Structure 1
């Protein structure tokens, strides 16, 4: 993520929506199962992590039937899915900071795959904490601009408890604290807004620009292959995209 790279990522996702929709839903479902198990509840009103994942699912146009089915599966006594959260940190080309969040049932499978990609297309895997210090955790809500009035959206966002809003030609990017994310999202939804994306993300404090075409291609390849990995939930970076 960088500047409005959140929007760039969404554009790419929308462009490949049909081909990747099944994989996106599978990853969200996995995250939902973990949220239910760790939160001990299938009710988003009593499980803030589940509420966040449901918001993410709705932004990805995951059908309500799929959401309900996944929650019911997670609550079922026969559900044997057992995933753990793992975070990998490393470097892309020219020292671009990369954070990879994964949900896996086998670290011995996931770690070598992530390490291989970082070694091949970047500068390799680093130690825990090597780059995360340069990111801030924030709620990020993206709304497509369409015919919406910027001042109105700004006022609605701030009235809902958001910290800030940035706008470009394509979208509005609203940021919140992690704790207030769910409440802000709910209030904006009540006001009739639809979301391109919504989640608690790692937002970089500074950015790295890649000048060489080879470095750009390697960074794009690294992101694409990491995101195609079934175990990888989120990929964050501080590459300044045009």
Structure 2
């Protein structure tokens, strides 16, 4: 498995997303609330971050009422929790880089819990900046090869502004600048090309190959971080073999 496929693809292959839909909804609601507050508007047409968050929620089939309540909490129309944004960086087994985003109403609790998870699972929480430089913020769309002809995908994506269309095993990966993500995704939607995932994410510039016990430990560390209530998203440059991912399902 390519390290460029990120932790979200590993979760997809492990079937973790469906098993933890409640936690996914909680994280999406946090993001919608903060996006509405930080963007100064509950209108998705004038608030790009909110628009992206709402699209992500709809992709997970979140009910419309839940989305609207989250927006109103962010704009102050309904009483809500004030979340603080932070990022944390560190290393996992084998020296793999880990970058995570947090939204929390208690920063002291968040950092204590995150440090505990790193220590317990064979990782090491580092200083800010220790691994952030290894990642680039990009739009990312993952499509199975059997779903589309390469030439058709290439034409659709590049014409809409994608930076690259590349192969990763059984999938195609469409890479965009963050500001071009929505236009490229819309073009792919309009072409009726199905995809496994579509998001603005942090892609690693290089990968760290993990095998055996280190790969298994890394998956357990990433799962524990992903389960933390104060963690929104987790990214890694770990390259984990397909057979190890499958064996841990």
The answer to whether the superposition gives a TM-score over 0.5 is: yes
**How far apart, in 1, do the equivalents of 2:80 and 2:62 lie?**
23
**How far apart, in 1, do the equivalents of 2:82 and 2:145 lie?**
39
Q: C-alpha offsets along residues 23-53 of structure 1, whole Å, 9 cap, x if unaligned? A: 1011011101100010111221101111221
**How far apart, in 1, do the equivalents of 2:95 and 2:195 lie?**
32
Q: Tell whether 2:121 aligns with 1:121.
A: yes
1:227 matched to which residue of 2? 226
Q: C-alpha offsets along residues 205-224 of structure 1, whole Å, 9 cap, x if unaligned? A: 1111123x221221111001
1:217 matched to which residue of 2? 216
The SS at the match of 1:129 is: coil
Shift in Å, 1:63: 3.6
Relative to structure 1, the CA distance from residue 74 to residue 182 in structure 2 (aligned partners, 3 Å threshold; closer, same or farther) is same
1:136 matched to which residue of 2? 136
TM-score by length of 2: 0.87
The SS at the match of 1:90 is: strand
The SS at the match of 2:25 is: helix
Q: Tell me if structure 2 keeps the 8 A contact 1:55–1:199.
A: no
1:10 matched to which residue of 2? 12
**How far apart, in 1, do the equivalents of 2:229 and 2:170 lie?**
29
Q: Tell me if structure 2 keeps the 8 A contact 1:141–1:175.
A: yes
**How far apart, in 2, do the equivalents of 1:136 and 1:169 lie?**
22
**How far apart, in 1, do the equivalents of 2:143 and 2:68 lie?**
25
Over aligned residues, Cα RMSD in angstroms? 2.0
Which segments of 5 or more consecutive residues in structure 2 lack a partner in the other structure? 242-249
Q: Tell me if structure 1 keeps the 8 A contact 2:147–2:194.
A: no
Alignment map for 1:9-158 (pairs within 5 Å): 9-12=11-14, 15-158=15-158
Q: Tell me if structure 2 keeps the 8 A contact 1:7–1:171.
A: no
Relative to structure 1, the CA distance from residue 81 to residue 119 in structure 2 (aligned partners, 3 Å threshold; closer, same or farther) is same
Shift in Å, 1:2: 1.0
TM-score by length of 1: 0.90
